[in-house]
């Protein structure tokens, strides 16, 4: 096995695909040429023989420190050994057709003996390629339709179905490695100047980072998280994947292992607001346009998630030859949840329409008829049960959050029609909106608990209830909201972090089954901001920042017992939530105020922003 924790990895990417680089200098995950393509390095979910690319000092006695250069996704890892210090700089050259992953080995002082091990295994660690040496130095590896070319001046040799090499590097020297991908029926990719590629990559990230708006004392933190979101963006379409990985477990050794290399509609509004508040209207527009194109067609066929190009068929299957991260099986490719019914996505679609419109992103010509078609469909199905925000596979229920987001859909449509002075359907929409609101208040609020509950007739709590004031369903100072936040604090908060829902307790008082869901913990901080509990919001926010790894990355969850990150990594939703909370804390009107919309917030509850 890799013997690395999830948080021991760092992300590099080119807005088309991404790789995970371990602290030990091994690239253990890389899908080519897209995020959702089959991996050619899959040791992350198995063993080195399932594919990896190691560059590190020989021996096991190096002190390791790493960082991103200038809030970019250019990673520098320093290895200090008794004989000297060396730095490996890992990055992708900004893509212009060909994928080029570059590794520059730089001697900083002394003389260090280095080792190289390249194990290419196409199709998620399954296919052993045919490898040939290149005349100019390096190798070409072909399996079926795919070719990977690795160019380097280092002498590489074949050994036991892997490619290895050794070299020594002194202070002031640089040794380049460039891995390029192409279809096997085409000529090999042209060579790339590695030093020039670094200049281009750093210029790209510096230019992009200069656009970022201030977030007060957390500006660098926000820039770092926004770089992650940029790195998870598929530039040709504007789609943003939830994570670049599949099957990193929600519980070590357990079966809750899902493929997150797709785009969820649920993330839409949070992502849009994060990008717009940070000053990235171009990226926000691209994300919105991806959404509009992707859902085009019959409203009855709208899915909760899509592939990065808008593809709909995400057939789920299991990979029998991969043992999984720390034995967490099965390893899954595709996602069967794509066929679930989840009512909340309709609210997300209309919320994106609304906030994009408010922010000056002019609607497309088909926006209005598409809105009308979506709402006509939702009017016929909102009373039905669904699988809910957490995509449970235990059967449909009348989830409170789902009903509330159906309310959001009609509420935002009404607000848009009022601004456009188009009242053709507003009366009908208003009747349904009010009916849903009354239905939720009557069936989802439990007077005995003094709280809203997860689903109609349930006694369970759900962290998704924290979204009720954030989307403006009720004001944050409404006694029912105050009671709900209090109940969540009492029953879903452990070690200062929020778990998704009631699952019972073990002997140590923590819920079994999974870690704390990081986005939910940021939502609690957002609720504190709306209620004027600024000190508590800031303390929780700072607590969450401490959970990031050494290069500022967050997975989906955190295990308070083992003090480890869990789930797919890095997780876009966690970083989006971080960005929004930072702006909520530093602006008089942050994303939470903006989304709760038009006076539902108590204007006296909000304290001055933290600057």
Task: Please spell the DSSP secondary structure of 473-512, one letter per residue.
Answer: SS-TTSHHHHHHHHHHHHHTEETTEE-SB-----TTSSPS
Do 195 and 272 sit in the same domain of this protein? Answer: no
Do 156 and 228 sit in the same domain of this protein? Answer: no
- What are the pLDDT digits (tens) for 64-95? 999 999 999 999 999 999 999 999 999 999 99
- At 510, is the pLDDT very low, low, confident or very high (cuts 50, 70, 90)? low
Domain end among 147, 174, 208 = 208
Is pLDDT of 98 > 90?
A: yes
* Cβ atoms 313, 303 nearer than 8 A: no
Please write down the HEC assignment for all residues of 70-95: HHCCCEEEEEEECCEEEEEEEEECCC
Supply 186's token pair: 């085409």
Do 484 and 591 sit in the same domain of this protein? Answer: yes
For residue 43, tell me if it sits in a domain: yes
Do 269 and 191 sit in the same domain of this protein? Answer: no
Alpha-helix runs per DSSP H in 97-193: 122-125
- What are the pLDDT digits (tens) for 366-384? 777 888 899 999 999 999 9
Query: SS3 of 131, please?
Result: strand
Who wins on pLDDT, 502 or 7?
7
Quick one: average pLDDT of 262-290?
A: 91
Angle at 6 between CA 521 and CA 54, to 5 degrees: 155
Do 32 and 90 sit in the same domain of this protein? Answer: yes
- The closest alpha carbon to 50, from 324, 261, 255, belongs to 324
The rounded distance, in Å, linking the Cα atoms of 470 and 221 is 23
Is pLDDT of 204 > 60?
A: yes
Do 193 and 223 sit in the same domain of this protein? Answer: no
Q: Each residue of 385-411: b (16+ CB within 10 Å) or e?
A: bbbbbbbeeeebbbbbbbbbbbbbbbb
Residue with tokens 């100019």: 136
The H or E element that residue 132 is part of is: strand 130-133
Do 478 and 553 sit in the same domain of this protein? Answer: yes
Do 477 and 370 sit in the same domain of this protein? Answer: yes
The rounded distance, in Å, linking the Cα atoms of 232 and 574 is 13
The H or E element that residue 182 is part of is: strand 174-183
The pLDDT of residue 509 is 58
* Cβ atoms 545, 539 nearer than 8 A: no
Do 352 and 373 sit in the same domain of this protein? Answer: yes
- The closest alpha carbon to 493, from 542, 541, 485, belongs to 485
- What are the pLDDT digits (tens) for 533-543? 999 999 999 99
Alpha-helix runs per DSSP H in 420-567: 426-443, 467-470, 479-491, 518-530, 534-545
The rounded distance, in Å, linking the Cα atoms of 285 and 204 is 20
Domain end among 174, 208, 242 = 208
Quick one: average pLDDT of 540-562?
A: 97
Is pLDDT of 605 > 50?
A: no
Mean pLDDT of the chain: 92
Do 354 and 450 sit in the same domain of this protein? Answer: yes
Domain end among 163, 178, 208 = 208
The pLDDT of residue 560 is 93
Do 202 and 223 sit in the same domain of this protein? Answer: no
Is pLDDT of 392 > 50?
A: yes
- The closest alpha carbon to 375, from 402, 399, 401, 343, belongs to 343
- At 511, is the pLDDT very low, low, confident or very high (cuts 50, 70, 90)? low
For residue 149, tell me if it sits in a domain: yes
The pLDDT of residue 418 is 86
- At 357, is the pLDDT very low, low, confident or very high (cuts 50, 70, 90)? confident
Query: SS3 of 301, please?
Result: helix
For residue 239, tell me if it sits in a domain: yes
For residue 507, tell me if it sits in a domain: yes
- At 507, is the pLDDT very low, low, confident or very high (cuts 50, 70, 90)? very low
Supply 475's token pair: 């004001």
The pLDDT of residue 600 is 41
CATH number where 164 lies: 2.70.98
- What are the pLDDT digits (tens) for 432-458? 999 999 999 999 999 999 999 999 999
Is pLDDT of 405 > 50?
A: yes
For the whole prediction, is pTM greater than 0.85? yes
Angle at 573 between CA 267 and CA 219, to 5 degrees: 115
Burial of 546 (0-12, 13-18, 19+ CB in 10 A): exposed
- At 596, is the pLDDT very low, low, confident or very high (cuts 50, 70, 90)? confident
CATH number where 401 lies: 1.50.10.10
For residue 327, tell me if it sits in a domain: yes
What is the count of structural domains for the chain?
2
Tell me the residue range of the domain where 376 lies: 211-596
CA torsion, ordered 421, 424, 425, 427, to nearest 10 deg = 80
Do 478 and 377 sit in the same domain of this protein? Answer: yes
For residue 361, tell me if it sits in a domain: yes
């Amino acid at each position: 096995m890799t013997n690395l924790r999830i948080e021991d990895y760092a992300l590099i990417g080119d807005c088309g695909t991404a790789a995970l680089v371990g602290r030990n200098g091994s690239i253990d995950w890389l899908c080519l040429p897209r995020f959702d393509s089959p991996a050619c390095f899959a040791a992350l979910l198995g063993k080195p023989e399932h594919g990896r690319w190691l560059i590190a000092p020989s021996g096991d006695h190096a002190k390791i420190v790493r960082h991103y250069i200038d809030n970019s996704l250019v990673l520098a890892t320093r290895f200090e050994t008794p004989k000297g210090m060396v730095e490996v700089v890992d990055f992708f050259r900004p893509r212009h057709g060909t994928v080029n992953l570059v590794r520059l080995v730089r001697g900083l002082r002394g003389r260090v003996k280095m080792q190289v091990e390249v194990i290419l295994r196409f199709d998620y660690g399954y296919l052993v390629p045919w490898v040939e040496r290149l005349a100019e130095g390096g190798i070409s590896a072909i399996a079926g339709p795919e070719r990977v070319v690795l160019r380097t001046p280092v002498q590489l040799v074949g050994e036991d179905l892997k490619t290895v090499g050794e070299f020594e590097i002194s202070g002031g020297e640089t040794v380049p490695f460039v891995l390029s991908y192409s279809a096997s029926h085409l000529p090999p990719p042209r060579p790339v100047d590695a030093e020039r590629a670094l200049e281009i990559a750093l210029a790209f990230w510096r230019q992009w980072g200069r656009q970022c708006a201030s977030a007060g004392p957390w500006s660098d933190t926000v820039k770092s998280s926004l770089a992650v979101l940029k790195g998870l963006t598929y530039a040709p379409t504007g789609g943003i994947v939830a994570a670049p990985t599949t099957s990193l477990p929600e519980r070590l050794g357990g079966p809750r292992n899902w493929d997150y290399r797709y785009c969820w509609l649920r993330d839409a509004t949070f992502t849009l607001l994060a990008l717009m508040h940070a000053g990235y209207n171009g990226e926000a527009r691209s994300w919105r346009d991806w959404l509009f194109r992707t859902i085009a067609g019959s409203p009855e066929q709208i899915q909760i998630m899509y592939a990065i190009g808008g593809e709909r068929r995400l057939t789920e299957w299991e990979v029998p030859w991969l043992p999984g991260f720390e034995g967490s099986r099965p390893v899954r490719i595709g996602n069967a949840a794509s066929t679930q019914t989840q009512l909340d996505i309709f609210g997300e679609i209309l919320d994106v329409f609304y906030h994009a419109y408010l922010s000056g992103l002019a609607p497309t010509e088909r926006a209005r008829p598409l809105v009308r078609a979506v709402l006509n469909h939702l009017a016929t199905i909102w009373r039905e049960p669904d699988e809910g925000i957490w995509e449970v596979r235990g059967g449909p229920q009348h989830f409170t959050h789902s009903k509330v987001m159906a309310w959001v859909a009609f509420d935002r449509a009404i607000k848009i029609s009022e601004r456009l002075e188009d009242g053709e359907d507003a009366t009908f929409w208003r009747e349904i909106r009010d009916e849903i609101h009354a239905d939720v208040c009557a069936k989802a609020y439990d007077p005995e608990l003094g709280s809203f509950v997860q689903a109609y007739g349930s006694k369970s709590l759900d962290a998704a209830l924290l979204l009720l004031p954030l989307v403006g369903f009720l004001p944050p100072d409404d006694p029912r909201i105050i009671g709900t936040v209090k109940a969540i604090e009492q029953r879903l908060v452990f070690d200062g972090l929020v778990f998704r829902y009631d699952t019972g307790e073990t002997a140590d008082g923590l819920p079994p089954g999974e870690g704390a869901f990081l986005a939910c913990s940021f939502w609690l901080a957002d609720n504190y901001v709306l209620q004027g509990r600024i000190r508590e919001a800031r303390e929780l926010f700072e607590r969450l920042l401490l959970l990031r790894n050494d290069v500022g990355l967050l997975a989906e969850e955190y295990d308070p017992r083992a003090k480890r990150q869990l789930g797919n990594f890095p997780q876009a939703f966690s970083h989006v939530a971080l960005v929004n909370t930072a702006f909520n804390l530093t602006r008089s009107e942050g994303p939470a105020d903006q989304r709760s919309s038009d006076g539902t917030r108590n204007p006296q509850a909000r304290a001055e922003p933290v600057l």
